[in-house]
Structure 1
Amino acid sequence: MVRVLRRSLLALVATAGLAACTSEKPPKEEKKTTTPAGTSEFEFNRGGDRALPTKVWLPTADGARPLIYFSHGLTSQPDDYAELLTAWQAAGFVVAAPKYPHTWNQAPAYNADDIVNQPADAQHVITEVLKALPGRIDPDRIAAAGHSAGAITTIGLFSGSRDERLKAGVLIAGRQMPQPAPFTGTPSPLLFVQGKLDETVTYEQAYGAYNEVTWPKGFLEIPQGNHLPHRDQPAVVAATTTDFWRWALDGDETAKQRLPQDASSAGTAALTSTF
């Protein structure tokens, strides 16, 4: 009888212990925040009326990748350049492009003169994108590009509003500000893309800005191109700019060697460079 009671007590204790173990909540798994390839939207704001909704194209490439910051032209928006920007994304680059508060195509208070404030907007967005995408962007490999007023904005980032984080730039139909400041700071390779028939930003204005650059530089001339050379010759512009990024941001010397061929492959453009 004593032995039976003892066995019953031991069984009770064991059962109670098992119940205690199984009733404990399992440890919580640490949540991992990942941003998949594709596009993401961010609502940045520099203060006041300077809302900067930003679209980011993320590549499938693993690890920290270079960032290309893109500025749109007057009465435009980032999606208008999707064909070119997705080509850069497919090549493994992160691309971030905001809508500028007073110059995009649905700006509630449109003001073309507001481009003088856009370099500061650009610097703010770059900072915020780095915060929003930790681990996805290499902060030592950041570049800037833009079209028309966006190219003027980009030139500002290499001159009067120099952002030393920038390692390279692409200027599509770009010129300097009306009161230009000299290119300054650490030398960074710049590639100009210009249609020779452009009447909005003339060939002479673009080449004048190019002549002011004392760093490694290139000038992709499209003889029959107008103000939208990336649409006049999309394949040429995409191939040339992509290999430029591969060289300038990834250190790919083979891509650098391909640049003249990229530019002239269709017989519709030519590259002058001191790269």
Structure 2
Amino acid sequence: MPVRPLTRLALCLTLALAGCTSTDPRWRDASAPPAPSGTAAVLAAASATPAPPSASPSPSAPAGAPKAALAVGVRTLKLSRGGRSLTTTVWYPATGKAGGSPKANAPVAPGRFPLVVFSHGLHGLPAYYEQITRRLAAAGFVVAGPTYPFTNRDANPFNAGDMGNQPADASEVITRVLKLDTASGDPLRGHLDAAHVAVGGHSAGGFTSAGILANKRDTRVKAAVVIAGGSMGAFKGARTPVLFVHGDQDPTVTYQTGRGAYTGTSWPKGFLTLLGQGHGEYLGQGAKGFDQVIKTITDFLRWTMYADTAAKARLSGDATKSGVSKFEAKW
């Protein structure tokens, strides 16, 4: 679904005027409970029904997804692309006891882990999505959250139209983080699985993630999660699984926009609908639909990044709850 320049401009203005943000305090996760229910439930199910070793579809796939939740570490990288500052928060699997708040600069857990770049919405920050990113890190992913220079909460000047530059920013973050795998003395040296990279994001971050699969396609990206977003142009290149998440009463990025992006691609795809919900209140810990969202995203990434066929089999059940959510897929 190509997006013409005027349509893209109108979209950016709509997002900016509507707030398209994660500043709603319900979307934050300050409490950091000792046992994140979404991740714990998913990993418990994985432990009970592990995929058989022969199910791995590719010799380059990682040895296997973690069977139990891991501790989470966090660090900040001062990255840039040209003159564009891209300060990036990185959550990663760490040694120690699982649960609780991410520990700054904690030692990295043994193993190699897929990379997920998660993009914030307009007027947002990576920290606003920690209820998602730390759960993904606990499930066995290195998650990088860039702060986009002209669309973050503190941007001065703020420019919603700069959203079109963010797919290239996200690709640069992928490049710079993957380089740490061979960087002498870096804690992530030897811990990054460069063959398995995914992207995801909310609202403008969802559009950013879709944009990575279009226009100047980043061929390293093997899966994408688009939350309350849509396309930034026709998808190009190799068939790549895409998971869409959208509230059917979204007043900012309409449900029809998300559905249009879903129906417009012939790639492997899934669509999680949050019934009666708007632009992202389901992203708040404990909110209606949050459990379905985090389980579905985790299942999807475990399948696409770790070749975890048991996670794929759980997708429909984990995504569906009467009166809360519904799910469809064409894999």
How far residue 108 of structure 1 moved from its aligned partner, in angstroms, is 1.8
Q: Which residue of 2 aligns with 1:239?
A: 295
Provide the alpha-carbon RMSD of the alignment.
Answer: 1.3
After TM superposition, the structure 1 stretch with the greater mean CA deviation from structure 2, 133-142 or 63-72, is 133-142
User: Structure 1 residue 205 and structure 2 residue 265: aligned?
Assistant: no
1:33-182 mapped onto 2 (5 Å cutoff) = 37-48=72-83, 50-60=84-94, 61-132=109-180, 133-177=188-232, 181-182=233-234
Describe the superposition over 1:17-47 as per-residue Cα deviations: whole angstroms up to 9, x where unpaired.
Answer: xxxxxxxxxxxxxxxxxxx950010000112
How far residue 224 of structure 1 moved from its aligned partner, in angstroms, is 1.7
- Aligned residue identity for 1:161: K
Q: Secondary structure at the match of 2:87?
A: strand
CA contact (8 A) 1:263 1:269 kept: yes
TM-score (normalised: structure 1):
0.83
Q: Which residue of 2 aligns with 1:8?
A: none
CA contact (8 A) 1:68 1:95 kept: yes
- Residue from 268, 290, 297 that aligns with 1:216: 268
How far residue 79 of structure 1 moved from its aligned partner, in angstroms, is 0.6
Q: Secondary structure at the match of 2:145?
A: strand
- Residue from 314, 319, 322 that aligns with 1:258: 314
- Distance in 2, Cα, partners of 1:196 & 1:37: 33
- Distance in 2, Cα, partners of 1:243 & 1:252: 8
User: Structure 1 residue 187 and structure 2 residue 265: aligned?
Assistant: no
- Distance in 1, Cα, partners of 2:163 & 2:79: 18
Describe the superposition over 1:35-76 as per-residue Cα deviations: whole angstroms up to 9, x where unpaired.
Answer: x9500100001122x100000001134211101111100000
How far residue 267 of structure 1 moved from its aligned partner, in angstroms, is 4.4
TM-score (normalised: structure 2):
0.69
Aligned residues: 236
How far residue 236 of structure 1 moved from its aligned partner, in angstroms, is 1.0
* Structure 1 unpaired stretches of 5+: 1-35
Structure ranking higher in helix proportion: 1
Q: Which has the higher contact order (CA 8 A, sep 6+)?
A: 2
- Aligned residue identity for 2:305: L
Q: Percent identity?
A: 45
How far residue 86 of structure 1 moved from its aligned partner, in angstroms, is 1.1
- Aligned residue identity for 2:166: Q
How far residue 230 of structure 1 moved from its aligned partner, in angstroms, is 2.2
- Aligned residue identity for 1:137: L
* Structure 2 unpaired stretches of 5+: 1-70, 95-108, 181-187
Larger radius of gyration: 1
- Distance in 2, Cα, partners of 1:218 & 1:109: 37
CA contact (8 A) 1:118 1:153 kept: yes
